[in-house]
Structures are given as structure tokens and as C-alpha cells.
Amino acid sequence: MMSNDELRRRVVATLAEELELDPEALTPEATLYDDLGLDSLDAVDMVVALEKSFGMKFTDEESLKAVRTVNDLFELLIRLKESQTADEA
């Protein structure tokens, strides 16, 4: 099972590659829209890239809409990972 640190590294690597962002800019406090300059199309691309990378579907749109920072994204993915692990147990 992937640790939370591995998950964070994978998120940063995926976003840097898919959205052509500087990995150094992907700090936990960086805001997706203001600091990283993402727009709504980038947000869709980000979700698709993360779904592919992690092999999971984001079904809770409200949780996705609440994501404002890179750390919010980390926390959402950690919760999804933990709920999947619980479902598999």
C-alpha cells in the first residue's frame, strides 16, 4: 500500500507532467487557480490525470469543488485511498 508521502510525490509528479507545472511550485499551500494559474479546463485535465495515475474515480463532486490548494488535493486523495482500503478489507 502506498504511504501518504508516496501519494504526495506521485500527485506532484503527475501534475507537473500533465499540466506542465514546475514541481517546485507545487507546495502544499499553493492555490490551484491563483498561484498555479489553472483554469476550469486544467481542472478537468487534472482530475483525469489523477484518476489514471491512481486508478480511482472521483465520484464526490462536492469534495472536488472544495479543493483550493495542493494540500486540499493531497487530503482528498488520502481520504479516497483510506476509504478504498477500508472497502477492500
39 as an active site residue: the answer is yes
- Give the residue from 85, 24, 72 showing the smallest Cα distance to 46: 72
- Give the residue from 72, 78, 6 showing the smallest Cα distance to 36: 72
Catalytic residue among 5, 34, 35, 39: 39
E strands in the chain: none
Which of the residues are catalytic? 39
